[in-house]
Structure formats: structure tokens, C-alpha cells
């Protein structure tokens, strides 16, 4: 396929070494592997956090066998995104052509390219499938990951960090996880999400996220009836952290959030998704119901504190 010939040079192999210490204080090297996507000819490579976190060293290899020492720029365990940097010297690295993952539709062709078992051979391994579902949430060993692309293009463990292409040869996702024992199911992080995280890591070395500072529950009919709530939908605040943006505006437990900036909200994932798209310092307006009183509360978002 012409797409594969043009796209393969942007896919790299990442071999890692992690130093593991046993109960007797003996240190032994443990090797790992994965894939990556060249996102900048200057040597920036997009990959998964779980591939490169806590590594002692890493070697990045291109499809033609050229090897580079990889340096970690930054990682984000929450999204499983990381950025690695190599010094290409006189070598011309080919950056991937990025698509718009917001335009993906179920049923579209998907092409997964990567390094499934650590052998580049004469090029990476390719599997073809379709987009099976969007906005999927999975529980993995590394945590809960939201808004993933589901594809039936087979994704092996070493394919993690590699690209998911559309039929135009544009990267629409970064392959990140497959569910053990679930045949034919693979997941990718939307490229728009991955690149947003990557830019934060390159610029700041970490991901700077806006913070509202509440915990809550989406109101169901059962919840409303049980607690005799004054609203049948919205978000019931179960905790507002004292020094958080919400807490500073005197939002408290048992308040009900009905909407944010004019948009109805029915669960915490919906509210969290909206807040993630904002910047630190942005002001959002919540419609709060407290008892029989209802009105707007303006909240200026702050940076999520380090836990």
C-alpha cells in the first residue's frame, strides 16, 4: 500500500532498559520495547508513558536501522502520553502527517503500524481494520483512560506508542492499550489529545491542567428520590476542597450544579471534560441550586495541585 510506504519512516522502535532491585538489593536490568511516532524533524517523538517511565536508558531506531540515544522530555501517567527527544544530527527524520481525530467516524478504515515484537525487520508490522467505537473508557492496570478510539485492527503489546492512520495516511491516534484475552479489540489515544499533551510536555516538562476542585455524583431519579433533592438532574457536590477555586467561591457539599457556561451537565465526566478544555485563569459560570435558591457562581480555574 502506498500509504504504508509513505508513512513507515515516521514510525520508530524504542528499546528501553529499566534497573530493577530485588528483595536482596540486587540490581538487574530489565529490557522493554515499544513504538513511537516522529512528530517533529528536530527529533521529538510521541510515545506512551508506560513504555518509557522510570527507564535507565533508551535507544530509538528508525525503519532503516539508524539508532539514536533517546532522552526523556516528559511523561503524563494520567493520559499515558510521553515525549522522547533524539539528536538527529545530519539525519533527516520524517515527521508524521497528523489528522483531526475530532472528525473520526465509526466504520472508517484504520491502519495500525508499529513494532509488535521488537523486530523492525525491513519495516514495521501493519494491521488493518475499522473504527469500532469512539469515546470509550477502559480500566487498565495503569488506571482509567477515557475518550479512547476503539479499533479492530490488531494491536500487539509492542505496538503501543505507534500510530493509527486513516486511509489518507494521516495519524488519527496513538495505539496505547489492548485488553488481554479480548480478541480483536485495540485502543488508541486520539491524536488531538495526544498532541495537546505533547505540546505541554515540550513547553513545560509537565501537563498543566485546570482545576475546579470538587467531587460529585451525577443525579439520577433514584438518587433524587432517596435524598429528596430539589433537582432531578445535574451534579450533586459531595465535596468542595477548601482552597480550591470552587471552595473559594463557597460552593459546598450538597450544592447541585445544573449547568456550566449555559450547558446542562448531568455527570462528573461531562463536567471534567469541559474543564479540561479550558485554560488556567479562565472563568466559568456554574448555575448552582442550594435548597430552593438558584443562581450563577463564577469560578476562576487554577492549576491542578501536585498530589
| In a shared domain, residues 253 and 165 | no
Q: What is the pLDDT of residues 27-66, one digit of tens each?
A: 777 788 899 999 999 999 999 999 998 888 999 998 888 9
Q: Quote the number of domains for the chain.
A: 2
pLDDT of 94 strictly over 70: yes
Structure letter (DSSP) for residue 267: S
In this structure, what are the phi and psi dihedrals at residue 30, rounded to the nearest 5 degrees?
-125, 125
Give the 3-state DSSP-derived string for 156-167, with helices as H, strands as E and coil as C.
CHHHCCCEEECC
Is residue 80 part of the annotated active site? The answer reads yes
Q: Which three cell numbers stand for residue 246?
A: 470552587
| In a shared domain, residues 184 and 243 | no
Residue 259 banded pLDDT, cuts 50, 70, 90: very high
Question: Which is higher by pLDDT, 145 or 12?
Answer: 12
Q: Which three cell numbers stand for residue 183?
A: 480478541
Name the nearest CA neighbour of 48 among 131, 93, 114.
Answer: 114
Single out the residue in 171, 204, 237 at which a domain terminates.
204
Which is the catalytic residue, given 35, 160, 176, 188? 160
Strand partners of residue 174: 163, 189
Give the 3-state DSSP-derived string for 90-120, with helices as H, strands as E and coil as C.
CCCCCCCCECCHHHCCCCCEEEEEECCCCCC
Whichever domain contains 164, its CATH number is 2.40.10.120
3-state secondary structure of 223: helix
Whichever domain contains 234, its CATH number is 2.30.42.10
Single out the residue in 189, 204, 219 at which a domain terminates.
204
| In a shared domain, residues 235 and 175 | no
pTM: 0.77
Residue numbers of the domain that contains 5: 1-21+29-204
Which is the catalytic residue, given 7, 8, 50, 79? 50
| In a shared domain, residues 61 and 107 | yes
pLDDT of 219 strictly over 60: yes
| In a shared domain, residues 49 and 158 | yes
Which is the catalytic residue, given 7, 8, 35, 80? 80
| In a shared domain, residues 1 and 41 | yes
Is residue 50 part of the annotated active site? The answer reads yes
Q: Residues 6 or more apart from 134 whose CB is under 8 A from it? A: 104, 106, 149, 150
Cβ contact 140:147 at 8 Å? no
| In a shared domain, residues 231 and 117 | no
Element (H, E) at 217: strand 214-218
Q: What is the pLDDT of residues 140-182, one digit of tens each?
A: 666 678 789 999 988 877 788 999 999 999 999 999 865 655 5
Q: State the pLDDT at residue 181.
A: 52
Is residue 267 part of the annotated active site? The answer reads no
Instruction: Compute the mean pLDDT over every residue in the chain, rounded to the nearest whole number.
Output: 88
Cβ contact 216:248 at 8 Å? no
The total of other beta-carbon atoms located within 10 Å of residue 221's CB is 9
Single out the residue in 174, 204, 234 at which a domain terminates.
204
Structure letter (DSSP) for residue 54: T
Amino acid at each position: 500500500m502506498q500509504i504504508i510506504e509513505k508513512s513507515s519512516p515516521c514510525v520508530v522502535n524504542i528499546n528501553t532498559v529499566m534497573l530493577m532491585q530485588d528483595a536482596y538489593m540486587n540490581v538487574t536490568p530489565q529490557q522493554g520495547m515499544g513504538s513511537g511516532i516522529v512528530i517533529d524533524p528536530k527529533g521529538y517523538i510521541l510515545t506512551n508513558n508506560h513504555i518509557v517511565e522510570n527507564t535507565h536508558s533508551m535507544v530509538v531506531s528508525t525503519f532503516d536501522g539508524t539508532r539514536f540515544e533517546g532522552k526523556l522530555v516528559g511523561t503524563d501517567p494520567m493520559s499515558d502520553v510521553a515525549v522522547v527527544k533524539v539528536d538527529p544530527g545530519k539525519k533527516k527524520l520524517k515527521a508524521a502527517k497528523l489528522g483531526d481525530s475530532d472528525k473520526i467516524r465509526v466504520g472508517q478504515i484504520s491502519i495500525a503500524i508499529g513494532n509488535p515484537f521488537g523486530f523492525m525487520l525491513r519495516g514495521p508490522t501493519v494491521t488493518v481494520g475499522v473504527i469500532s467505537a469512539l469515546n470509550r473508557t477502559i480500566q487498565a492496570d495503569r488506571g482509567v483512560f477515557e475518550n479512547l478510539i476503539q479499533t479492530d485492527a490488531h494491536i500487539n503489546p509492542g505496538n503501543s506508542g505507534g500510530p493509527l492512520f486513516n486511509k489518507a495516511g494521516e495519524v488519527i491516534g496513538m495505539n496505547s492499550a489492548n485488553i488481554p484475552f479480548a480478541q480483536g479489540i485495540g485502543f488508541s489515544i486520539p491524536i488531538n489529545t495526544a498532541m495537546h499533551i505533547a505540546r505541554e510536555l515540550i513547553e513545560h516538562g509537565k501537563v498543566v491542567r485546570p482545576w475546579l476542585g470538587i467531587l460529585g455524583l451525577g443525579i439520577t431519579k433514584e438518587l433524587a428520590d432517596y435524598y429528596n433533592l430539589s433537582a432531578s438532574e445535574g451534579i450533586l457536590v459531595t465535596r468542595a476542597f477548601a482552597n480550591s477555586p470552587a471552595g473559594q467561591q463557597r460552593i459546598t457539599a450538597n450544592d447541585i450544579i445544573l449547568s456550566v457556561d449555559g450547558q446542562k451537565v448531568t455527570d462528573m465526566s461531562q463536567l471534567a471534560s469541559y474543564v479540561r478544555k479550558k485554560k488556567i485563569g479562565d472563568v466559568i459560570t456554574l448555575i448552582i441550586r442550594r435548597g430552593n435558591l438558584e443562581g450563577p457562581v463564577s469560578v476562576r480555574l487554577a492549576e491542578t495541585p501536585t498530589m
